[in-house]
Amino acid sequence: MTITLHPWNTSDKPALMSLCNAVDRTFLSDRLPYPYTEADADWWLGMVAEKDGKDGIWRSVWADGELVGSISVERKAEVDKAVGEIGYMILTAYWAQGIGTEAVRQICRIAFQELELDRITGQVFPENVASVRVLEKNGFLQEEKNVEKVIKSGMARDVKLYRKDRPVSAFTHHYIEAGDGFPLILLHGNGEELGYFEHQMQPLAEHFRVIALDTRGHGKSPRGEAPFSIRQFADDLLVFMDRHRIQKAHLLGFSDGGNIAMVFALTHPDRVGKLILNGANLDASGVKRSVQIPIEVGYRIARLFARKSPEAKRNAEMLGLMVNDPNVRPEELSHIQAPTLVIAGTKDMIKESHTRLIARSIPEAQIVLLEGDHFVASKHPREFNEAVIRFLAD
């Protein structure tokens, strides 16, 4: 299941009203009106449009392309502007599926970065065991005492207080850069390293500030302790951009790097200028079976020996990216806002029908098929670079 968060906008009013009138209110405070009217929706959407990114972060929660909830972190300006308070609601039919846990993970990451918070707090009714687990899985710690401050059915109720402090990331990318101008970040594929783009660095640096990264656990970048997944790599990219004060960049991703760029564009649309997906795929079904079957067999074998051999564990993680990730549904791609170019080889390991599906699912995306296999950027750099520069300069 793919969980994504998206900013609210006025076109979401019917979905917002439906959500707020259908959600289970057992563990919600009296702040949420019932019945939830059109006037309530108009006021709330107007407030969010005015304050999002300044006084809070408000997002809709989507699971496999379906809107299933709402989540927010609101700055507690009256107490401490460096502290935010989290709140969320998920439709009952989607409980106990890990959606709340993933939504909280994503909103905390966004809020810490965009609001520059030092801490996020949460209030939970003691009997709401599920939400307690969601917060604890995301590293929230319970405060020493409860406080009566939440109004429920007209009465002050005890709540458990939780807090999560800003994480300090020890992970840093190995990277190289060249050129000046608007940033263009290059993301290599599975098992590769930034040297894959040796034929792109200088030609593209004549037009842009080109930055090539080694993904976590690849090249000279450390593995670290975080999960080894496409979504974690997208999180790492956000940290890199924030650390280097890059507010927005073009992204060019090859293979798994394209998958990272695709997920990043879905979760952080305001941080992407233009998007180039080279040999990307939505899931394992997009890979030709003659290529995918050996990968899946190798993955099963590596998993069997992963506990006994560090090398087998590394192989299992690498192959697992091509078996379990990125699992993005075609309809989710409609949320990509960046102008997009989809590139693949005419003899690519990604099915041409799958490449065309990706291009067709992204609003107004362009598609270019170059003579060659999966590695067209490396084997046919002149044609590849011309297509990239033409698109970025358009």
Map out the domains of the chain with their CATH numbers.
Answer: 3-165 (3.40.630.30), 175-283+325-393 (3.40.50.1820)
- Residue 232 tokens read as 């974690």
What is the widest separation between alpha-carbon atoms in the chain?
70
CB atoms within 10 A of CB 69: 22
Amino acid at 177: E
Percent over 90 (pLDDT), the chain:
75
pLDDT band at 79; cut points 50, 70, 90: low
pLDDT band at 167; cut points 50, 70, 90: confident
What is the 3-state secondary structure of 231-279? HHHHHHHHHHHHHCCCCCEEEEEECHHHHHHHHHHHHCHHHEEEEEEEC
For residue 146, the model assigns a pLDDT of 60
Beta bridge partners, 186, equal 212, 252
Give the C-alpha separation, 272 to 8, whole Å.
18
CA of residue 39 relative to chain centroid, distance: 32
Q: Which residue has the tokens 């990272």?
A: 260
Is-contact 222 190, C-beta < 8 A? no
Is-contact 119 163, C-beta < 8 A? yes
Q: Choose among 124, 130, 120: nearest CA to 98.
A: 130
Is-contact 221 174, C-beta < 8 A? yes
pTM: 0.68
pLDDT band at 114; cut points 50, 70, 90: confident
Whether 157 shows a pLDDT value over 90: the answer reads no
Mean per-residue pLDDT for 29-49? Answer: 93
For residue 307, the model assigns a pLDDT of 85
For residue 358, the model assigns a pLDDT of 98
CB atoms within 10 A of CB 317: 18
For residue 86, the model assigns a pLDDT of 96
Per-chain mean pLDDT for the chain: 92
